Structure 1
Amino acid sequence: MIDTDSFIAGLPKAELHLHIEGSLEPEQMFEFARRNQVAIPYASVEEVRAAYQFSNLQDFLDIYYAGADVLRTEEDFRDLALAYFDRAAADGVRHAEIFFDPQTHTDRGIPFGVAANGLLAGMAEAEAKHGLTSKLILCFLRHLDEEEAFKTLGQAQPWIDRIEAVGLDSSEVGHPPSKFERVFAAAAAMGLKRVAHAGEEGPPEYIYEALDLLKIDRLDHGNRALENPDLVTRLARSGMTLTVCPLSNVKLCNVASIDEHPIDRMLALGLRATINSDDPAYFGGYVADNYRAAAAGRRLDRKDLVTLARNSFLGSFLPDEEVSRHLAALDAYAEAHA
């Protein structure tokens, strides 16, 4: 029988909560900075890693946005995506639905199409190289206003048939989902799926707003739903997928330690929880690292791990026939390593 680490690496899974800009490793930051002649405020890779000590979400975002400044060309975005997909394939990821933040780039004068075309090229190459499929999710930055979000949705029009969904990320507290009700309605009218970060640092009320006003198809994070039993019941009864990010929760001090993470409690309550890496370059690990940390910290057994992987495919935006194919492969893997 293979050990748990190897079992996790080979476990077929989907990743549903990955910010592609958050996969920018320090080595890539220096490479792209040299390539594009961009000055960065760090002298070495070690100095960059030493800066990755955060006390809250905003501490992280300040460094995240500074790091993204090195991304200037389609080649940069393509290379960034390919590097992520190489790691994801090694972690057993068969399908990924990745976030990107176009406003982070358009506000710097980088045209929408530079990021979109580069990422789509990397996604196509990853499928050819690894057989790993992917979908693209456009996120609005919630610390900006509704007008800016509508502007971004307009800029996305030439690529709208290659974008699966819209999302909502960045600074949560003080920026409730209700702020973006109209732009999410416009996205829905275009046939786009909707997801939103809610209940990471924000209160359970933000989750209600995401459900009732944004009419989300998937909930990103959602940890603070556990504070409200009625909300937990609603999420469980509806089969709403939660894209949980254990190492991120610890790194941003939303959970005291991995030993206190509620992932097993979520499963016990009937929530369709999944495990994801969020911003892996900043938070200490890619998706398999998150599975391993949760398994060790909460003593998850192989049945739990298979359930989490099953939830990831069920919560994806893949067509039913493709989900069925992935679930069959997952069941075969689990049976072979029972």
Structure 2
Amino acid sequence: MTTPEPALPPKLPPIVDERLPALLAAMPKAELHIHIEGSLEPEMIFQLAQRNGIALPYASVQALRSAYAFTDLQSFLDLYYQGAGVLQKEQDFYDLALSYLARVATENVVCAEIFFDPQTHTARGVAMETVVHGLARACRDAQARHGISARLILSFLRHLSEREAFETLEQALPLREHFIAVGLDSSELGHPPEKFERVFARCRELGFHIVAHAGEEGPPAYIWQALDLLHAERIDHGVQAVHDAALMQRLKAERIPLTVCPLSNQKLQVFPDLRQHNLKALLDAGLVATVNSDDPAYFGGYMNENLHQVFAATGMNAGHAWQLAANSFDASFAPAADKARWHQQLSEVFERFATR
């Protein structure tokens, strides 16, 4: 799937800088890179641990939060998988997803395409049905209660084997009505996309959309593999693409979206100083970049906090804000009618801010 050309931005007077934070909060947007297990706040970890009779190695919420000092992707993943251990029952997964969706609906997120990692849970003896039914029920209820469009993306853990990925796919197929796409996440270095070429070929045969994490810590070659071998329709992260001019040209020409996660990149030392982040360069080069929160409970911010901090650090303006929001709709797997409605809402918000 090639992302369509965006609608032209509205012809509006400039929006002054002091209005920009409020505009970023008010504009409708889609979140396309959110790991639901990564929205598990310390308070909920303790709540679910108590509910399920699980002992935690931390004395308090604050002690757990203080452990969120990561030096790289792996140091984060170690704590991430430990935290996910409190998720045991269908109600746990429901409560987790509904909490995330209710929160981001207040940030004017109108569409969320949510990663879940079934292998994280089935390895602990939690049934695939428990995971999927809880998350899917939350997506339905969030649509009814908050008007947010929410759908699921099953992600394979790349540090595990191809065989285990195939087994997970087969376990999930009876539940295929509940997820729209498959992805690839977890430890990137040493686990190139080519490792899962046959798995994703099977997923394409089954009609699923394809996305893949690539080019976060891994080299541009991983992005090439995700495109050429997995046939990914979106690249999750992709910030290392700037080191390969030919790749940048391809991403622009084919309008392959990048789901960029600024605070995650800062927290995991991809860009230790947010002022160094290349999001503005990606947009100015004509790429279909978007802003997302990745694992917000661990990285210090949901969608709007990511927007506020990266704009403040890099000097982006209202034009960049409009482009990011428009890109997020165009890059989603939502129906065309929904995209058109969200584009109209975006134009209305910009008109309101420009005419105050």
With the length of structure 1 as denominator, give the TM-score of the two structures: 0.99
Q: Assess if the C-alpha contact under 8 Å between 1:218 and 1:240 holds in 2.
A: yes
1:332 lines up with 2:348 in the alignment:
yes
Gaps of 5+ in 2: 1-15
1:33 aligns with 2:49: yes
Residue 144 of structure 2 aligns with which residue? 128
2:67 partner amino acid = A
| Among 265, 281, 284, the residue aligned to 1:268 | 284
Residue ranges of structure 1 left out of the alignment (5+ in a row): none
Amino acid across the alignment from 1:299 = G
Q: Which runs of 4+ in 1 moved over 6 A?
A: none
| 1:107 aligns to 2:128 (yes or no) | no
2:159 is aligned to: 143
1:208 aligns with 2:197: no
In structure 2, C-alpha distance between the alignment counterparts of 1:228 and 1:43, rounded to whole Å? 47
- Aligned-partner Cα distance in 2 for 1:278–1:135: 16
Which residue of 83, 90, 98 maps to 1:74? 90
Query: TM-score when scaled to structure 2?
Result: 0.94
1:74 CA displacement: 0.6
Aligned equivalent of 1:8, options 21, 24, 29? 24
CA contact (8 A) 1:81 1:123 kept: yes
Aligned counterpart for 1:226 among listed residues 235, 242, 245: 242
Aligned to 1:278: 294
Count of matched residue pairs? 338
For CA contacts below 8 A with separation 6 or more, give which structure has more relative contact order: 2
Alignment partner for residue 84 of structure 1, among 100, 123, 130?
Answer: 100
What does residue 50 of structure 1 align with?
66
Task: Report the Cα offset of residue 9 of structure 1.
Answer: 1.5
Q: Are the equivalent residues in 2 in contact too, given 1:141–1:168 (CA < 8 A)?
A: yes
- Is structure 2 residue 188 aligned with structure 1 residue 172? yes
Choose from 233, 237, 244 the match for 2:253: 237
Q: Distance in 1 between matches of 2:56 and 2:84?
A: 10
Q: % of aligned pairs identical?
A: 51
Offset at residue 256 of structure 1 (A): 2.1
Deviations 1:11-46 (A, max 9, x none): 100000000000000000000000000111111011
Q: State the one-letter code of the partner of 2:60.
A: S
1:322 CA displacement: 1.4
SS in 1 for 2:289: strand
Question: Of 92, 104, 111, which residue of structure 2 is paired with 1:95?
Answer: 111
Pairwise CA RMSD of aligned residues?
0.9
- For the 8 Å contact 2:19–2:353, the answer to whether it is kept is no
Structure 1 position 87, deviation (Å) = 1.3
Matched, 1:194 2:210: yes
Give distance in 1, aligned partners of 2:319 and 2:351: 11
Distance 1:222 1:19 in 2: 17
